[in-house]
Structure 1
C-alpha cells in the first residue's frame, strides 16, 4: 500500500507542480513485428511513424496486429481519394463553364437532354466535345496492371514455346496486361442501352431511316457488303457503337437534306475514334468501322486506314489466312477483313503517293487458294480482283518510287511494258469471273474495266514525270518508248471518262461508290485538261481546223474531245451531286473541273450551276482568266499569279497528290464540316 501510495503522486506530478502535460503518444495497437520478434517492449516515438527500436536499427516498422495495417492502409487510401476527388471536381467545373452549361450544384441526378440547335455528342471518358469541337482531352492513367489468372493465357489461343515474339516473351516474364500481343473479340452486349441512339442524340426513327438508306443504296457496292455483315440496326448496335456511327455517317453523307443528322453522326464517330487511337481494339467490328469510314470520308481516309491496319495486326488478323488453311473455318471472315484492309490501305497509299504498311504476305500471295473454296462468295471474287490489281500497282510504286523530280529512264520503259502486260492479263482474268448482280446490275464486271483503264492511265502517266516544259527545243526529247507510254495514258484517261458516261450501271453506281472511284474521274479530267494547256496550247481551240489535229511531240491528243469530255464530266457529276449531301466530296470535284475550264479561258464553258453550294465562285461561262475576281477566287489562285497551270503537279509522283494538290483545287468552299480535321 505504501509503494502504491508513493508511485501515484509521481505519476501525477506534472498535474501537481503545474508543468505542461506530455504530448499525446502516437496511437498503436500492441507491438510492431520487429519488437515482437525480439520479444521487447515496443516504445512509440512522438511525431514519428516508427518505434524507437526500428528508428535505431533503420528497419521498417510494420504493425504486428493486422487491424493496425488496415487502419494505415485505409488512411492512405482516403487521403489519395480526397486529392483525386478535388481534381475531378475542379475539372468538371472547368468543363461546365467552358461549354456554358449549368453549374455542378444546379444539376440534378440526370444529365440534361440536348437543347434545340445544340449538338451534344456522346464521348468516351477522356474526350468532351460539343458541336464538333473538342474542348479537352484528359488521358487515362497509365495502366501497368498484371494478369494473375492462367485462364487468360488459355483463352488467348496462344501457346507458349521456345521461339516467340520478343514482346510475348516480355509479357510471359512480367504478366503486364498491356504487353499482350493479342486481344480477344468481345462484343459489347450492353451498347444498345447505352449508345448515342438510346441517349436520344440521334433518334431511333432517324437512325432507322439512315440505316435503310445504307442497306438499299450503298452497302452492296463495296464487295457485296464484306465490311458490313449485319442485316438490322439492332444487330449492329449490339456489336459495335463505332460501326453503327460509321454506317449512319456514311448514309447521311449520301442523303440530300440531312445536314444536321450528318453533323451529329460525324461528331459521334470522331469522338469514338479518338478513344480508339490509344485504346486496345475491342472487336473486329470496330476495325470494320474504321475501314468503312476510310472508304467514304475523304478528310479522314488516310488516318483511318492506318489506324484500322494497326488495330487489325494487334488482333493477329494477319495470321488468319494460315489458320484458315489449317482447317479453322471460323477464320474465313477474318481473312476477308484482312484482304479488305489491304485494298483500303493500298488505295490510299497510292492515292497519296506514300509507301503502304501491309506488304505482300502469304495471304496476299495465295489469294487464289482462298477463292477456290466452295465457301467463296461473289463479293470475295470482287475483293480478290482488287487485291491482285493493287499488288501490281504496288510493285510499280516500289520500282519507280514517288520522287516528283525523278523522271523515268529509258531502261524503265521495258519494266513499264511488263506492268502494262500484267494489267491486261488482270482484266482478262477478272472481268469474266465478276458475276453481274440482280441488284447492282453489271457493276461488278464493268467496275473491273473501269479500274483497268485507270490503272493503265496511272502507270503510263509516269512517262511525263519530271520532264521540262515542252518547247520546240524539246520536240525530239520524247523517245519512242516515252511517247508510246504517254499516248497510252491519254487513251486510258479518255476511256475512263467515256466508260462512265456510256455504261448505265456505272452511272447509277456513282452515287454510292467510295471516293476512290470519284477520284478516278477527277484525276482523269484534270490530267486531260492540263495536257491541253501544257502540250496542246489552248489557242488551238479558236481554230477548228487545228483543234482536231494531234498536238506536237507525236502525242495523239484531240483538244475538242478533251473539252467535250470535261464538260460532260462536270455536267454528269453535277447531276450525281443532286442525290448526295452538299458536303460530299463530289461537289468539290464538280466545282474544280468547271473552275479549271474557266481558268484555262475556254469559250463556252458551262457556268457552275451548283453555285449555291460554292459561294466563292461567281464566274460566267465566257469570262477570261484575267477577269476572275481575286477576292472570290479559291485560295490557290493567290499563288498562281501568271494564271498558268502546270500539269506536273499532279503527275509529279506516283500518287495523285490527292491531299496537297487535288483537294487544294477542288476544296474552295468554306464548309466547316471538312475543314476541321480532328487528327
Structure 2
C-alpha cells in the first residue's frame, strides 16, 4: 500500500510539473522571459544528471548491496533436512546475513607489501621453526616451507616474522610488528578465517606481550566459531585432520589460561569434552611426544582453573578452615602431575632438556600462585584465626619456597638461562612476580613474616646479574629486558647497600613464621607494577606490569614515610 501510494503521488507530481512547464513556455513566447526560460532549461539538464526525476529509481522490493551491508538483522534461515532433532539450535541460522569486509589475502602478504624480502622472511621462518616453535609444542605442526606458510595465512607469516625478528634482535621487528597488528585487525571481522589464522594469533599471543590478551581473545572466538572444540570425537577415532584441529584447540586453551588465570581474569575457554579427553588423545595413533608435552600443560592449567573457580579473585578475603583442605588437595594434584610428567620426558634435539625442566618450572609457578593465597586479607585485623594459624604458616613457607625455587633455577642452571630468549612471555611474568613476591615478603612484611632478608637480597642480586647478562643481546622490546632493568632498580630501592636493616638477622635456613602482631596496611607502600599495561596485579596477582612505575621505598627501611599506592 505504501509503494502504491508513493507511485500515485509521483505520477501526480510529474503531471503537475509537465503542465507548469507548458504554461511557462506559453508565457515566455508572449513576453520577454526567454532568458528565464533558458535558465530553467539549464537547471533541468543539471537535474537530469543529478537528482532530477530521471535519477529516481523505480520502486523495487530488492535491497541494494550497500543497503544490505548496513542492515543489521538480515539473517537467512536455513532449513536443513539433514539435521536431526538433536541439532544445535543456532545451526538453522546462517551467518551470511552479517557481511564482513573481506580483503584480498595476497595484498596482506608481508612480502607482497614490501615489508620484507623473500630472503628475510625465510630467515625468520627458519629461526622460528628450528627453535621457537618447539618451546610451544609446535604450533605450526608439521614443518613447512615458505610457500606453504604464505599460502596458508598471511597472518601466520606476519606473526612468525615478527616473533623471529624479536628473538634475533633484528631492526625489522618494528615494521614486522606493525604489519602483524594491521593484518590481525583486518582479520578480526573476517568470515573467511582458517586454522592457520588461529595459529598466527597464538604465535602473537605467546610471544608479543603487549597484545597477548587481544590476540588470544580473537583466537578463542575464531576457534569456537569454526568448531575446533568439536573435533575431539573424530580425533579419537583416528582422523588426522581432526587430530590437528584438536591439538590446535589445546594450544588455544593453554594460551587463554596463560593470560587469564595469572591475571585474575576468567578464562574464555571452558572445561569441555576436548579437555576432559586430553589423556585419551595421547593414545591415538597420531599422537607424538610434543602432544604429551602439550597435554601436560592442559593438565596443569586444569588444576589452575579449578583453583581460580574455588577461591575467586577477592584478595582481601582471608582463608578460613573450609578453604584449607581444598587448597591441600590442589597441592597434591600438582605434586602428582609433576611426578607423572617429569619422568616421562627426556632430551629433545631442538630444545635440550626443556621438556623435563619446563615441567619443574610450571610446577613452581602453579605452587606459587596457589600458596600465595596464604597472604590474602593480611591487611585486615584478625585475618589469621587461631584454628588455622599453623596452616597459614605452612602455606606461607611453601609460597616462599616456590618463589625462591624459581629464582634459583634461573640463577644456577645455565641451560635454563639459554631458554630465556625463546620462552613465551608467561615465563617472564612469573619470574618478575617471584622477584616482587620475595622482596615484598622479606621487607614489607618482615615484622610479621620471619625470613632471612640477607639471603633473599643476595638471591635477587644474583638474578639481576644473570638477567642483565642474558638480555645484553636481546631486542629492547623483549619483555625480559624490562624485567631485568626493573628488578635491579627495585632491589636498589628496597635494599640499598648502606641501609640498616631493622629486622634481626636470621639463620640461612629460617622458616616463614607469620605472627599475630598488628599487621601493616597491605596497600601501604604497595609496589605498583601495572601502570604500563592493562593487567591486574592485585594482592599477589600477576599482571602485565612495569617495574619502573613506582618510586616508593620498601617497608623495612627505617624512618621512611610511605604513601598508599593504588592497588592494581
Secondary structure in structure 1 of the residue aligned to 2:112: coil
1:535 is aligned to 2:429: no
Choose the corresponding residue for 1:47, options 2, 11, 14.
Answer: 14
The 8 Å contact of residues 77 and 92 in structure 2, kept in 1 or not, is answered as no
Instruction: Supply the distance in 2 between the matched residues of 1:201 and 1:48 (Cα, whole angstroms).
Output: 63
The 8 Å contact of residues 407 and 466 in structure 1, kept in 2 or not, is answered as yes
Secondary structure in structure 1 of the residue aligned to 2:318: coil
Secondary structure in structure 2 of the residue aligned to 1:411: helix
1:202 is aligned to 2:113: no
| Structure 2 counterpart of 1:644 | 525
1:227 Cα offset (Å): 3.9
Choose the corresponding residue for 1:665, options 544, 547, 563.
Answer: 547
| Structure 2 counterpart of 1:177 | 96
Instruction: Supply the distance in 1 between the matched residues of 2:174 and 2:187 (Cα, whole angstroms).
Output: 20
| Structure 2 counterpart of 1:486 | 396
* Structure 1 residues 474 and 387, CA gap change in structure 2 (3 angstroms): closer
* Structure 1 residues 565 and 279, CA gap change in structure 2 (3 angstroms): same
Q: Within 5 Å, which residues of 2 pair with 1:311-460?
A: 311-460=222-371
1:528 Cα offset (Å): 0.2
Instruction: Supply the distance in 1 between the matched residues of 2:58 and 2:484 (Cα, whole angstroms).
Output: 64
| Structure 2 counterpart of 1:637 | none
| RMSD of aligned residue pairs (Cα, Å) | 3.9
1:246 is aligned to 2:159: yes
| Structure 2 counterpart of 1:168 | 91
Instruction: Supply the distance in 1 between the matched residues of 2:323 and 2:78 (Cα, whole angstroms).
Output: 59
The 8 Å contact of residues 291 and 304 in structure 1, kept in 2 or not, is answered as yes
| Structure 1 counterpart of 2:558 | none
* Structure 1 residues 428 and 159, CA gap change in structure 2 (3 angstroms): farther
The 8 Å contact of residues 324 and 332 in structure 1, kept in 2 or not, is answered as yes
| Structure 2 counterpart of 1:305 | 216
1:292 Cα offset (Å): 1.4
* Structure 1 residues 48 and 483, CA gap change in structure 2 (3 angstroms): farther
1:583 is aligned to 2:502: no
Instruction: Supply the distance in 1 between the matched residues of 2:391 and 2:15 (Cα, whole angstroms).
Output: 90
| Structure 1 counterpart of 2:423 | 513
Map Cα deviations across residues 522-551 of structure 1 (whole Å, 9 max, x no partner): 1111100111112226xxxxxxxxxxxxxx
| Structure 2 counterpart of 1:234 | 147
Map Cα deviations across residues 17-68 of structure 1 (whole Å, 9 max, x no partner): xxxxxxxxxxxxxxxxx9xxxxxxxxx867159xxxxxxxxxxxxxxxxxxx
1:219 is aligned to 2:113: no
* Structure 1 residues 568 and 227, CA gap change in structure 2 (3 angstroms): farther
1:598 is aligned to 2:492: yes
Secondary structure in structure 1 of the residue aligned to 2:210: coil
The 8 Å contact of residues 345 and 356 in structure 2, kept in 1 or not, is answered as yes
1:164 Cα offset (Å): 2.6
| Structure 2 counterpart of 1:629 | none
* Structure 1 residues 162 and 560, CA gap change in structure 2 (3 angstroms): same
Higher mean alpha-carbon deviation, 482-491 vs 401-410, is at: 401-410
* Structure 1 residues 653 and 78, CA gap change in structure 2 (3 angstroms): farther
1:169 Cα offset (Å): 2.5
Instruction: Supply the distance in 2 between the matched residues of 1:199 and 1:445 (Cα, whole angstroms).
Output: 42
Secondary structure in structure 1 of the residue aligned to 2:445: helix
The 8 Å contact of residues 134 and 351 in structure 2, kept in 1 or not, is answered as yes
1:271 is aligned to 2:185: no
Aligned residues: 475
Instruction: Supply the distance in 2 between the matched residues of 1:408 and 1:474 (Cα, whole angstroms).
Output: 8
Structure 1 residue runs without a partner (length 5+): 1-33, 35-43, 50-73, 88-138, 538-551, 605-621, 625-641, 669-679
The 8 Å contact of residues 139 and 199 in structure 2, kept in 1 or not, is answered as no
The 8 Å contact of residues 191 and 239 in structure 1, kept in 2 or not, is answered as no
Instruction: Supply the distance in 1 between the matched residues of 2:57 and 2:183 (Cα, whole angstroms).
Output: 32
Q: Please, what TM-score do these two structures have when normalized by structure 2?
A: 0.75
The 8 Å contact of residues 144 and 177 in structure 1, kept in 2 or not, is answered as no
Secondary structure in structure 1 of the residue aligned to 2:209: coil
* Structure 1 residues 439 and 328, CA gap change in structure 2 (3 angstroms): closer
1:455 Cα offset (Å): 1.0
1:438 Cα offset (Å): 1.8
Instruction: Supply the distance in 1 between the matched residues of 2:286 and 2:411 (Cα, whole angstroms).
Output: 36
Instruction: Supply the distance in 1 between the matched residues of 2:328 and 2:495 (Cα, whole angstroms).
Output: 37
Higher mean alpha-carbon deviation, 371-380 vs 209-218, is at: 209-218
The 8 Å contact of residues 226 and 379 in structure 1, kept in 2 or not, is answered as no
Instruction: Supply the distance in 2 between the matched residues of 1:450 and 1:312 (Cα, whole angstroms).
Output: 29
Q: Please, what TM-score do these two structures have when normalized by structure 1?
A: 0.63
1:276 Cα offset (Å): 2.1
Instruction: Supply the distance in 2 between the matched residues of 1:251 and 1:481 (Cα, whole angstroms).
Output: 47
1:389 Cα offset (Å): 0.3
Instruction: Supply the distance in 2 between the matched residues of 1:651 and 1:203 (Cα, whole angstroms).
Output: 41
Instruction: Supply the distance in 2 between the matched residues of 1:304 and 1:644 (Cα, whole angstroms).
Output: 34
* Structure 1 residues 484 and 45, CA gap change in structure 2 (3 angstroms): closer
Compare CA radii of gyration and give the structure with the larger one: 1
Secondary structure in structure 1 of the residue aligned to 2:290: helix
| Structure 2 counterpart of 1:570 | 464
Instruction: Supply the distance in 1 between the matched residues of 2:143 and 2:58 (Cα, whole angstroms).
Output: 48
* Structure 1 residues 203 and 406, CA gap change in structure 2 (3 angstroms): same
The 8 Å contact of residues 74 and 98 in structure 2, kept in 1 or not, is answered as no
Choose the corresponding residue for 1:467, options 372, 378, 383.
Answer: 378
Instruction: Supply the distance in 2 between the matched residues of 1:412 and 1:195 (Cα, whole angstroms).
Output: 53
The 8 Å contact of residues 469 and 534 in structure 1, kept in 2 or not, is answered as no
The 8 Å contact of residues 300 and 334 in structure 2, kept in 1 or not, is answered as yes
1:422 Cα offset (Å): 0.5
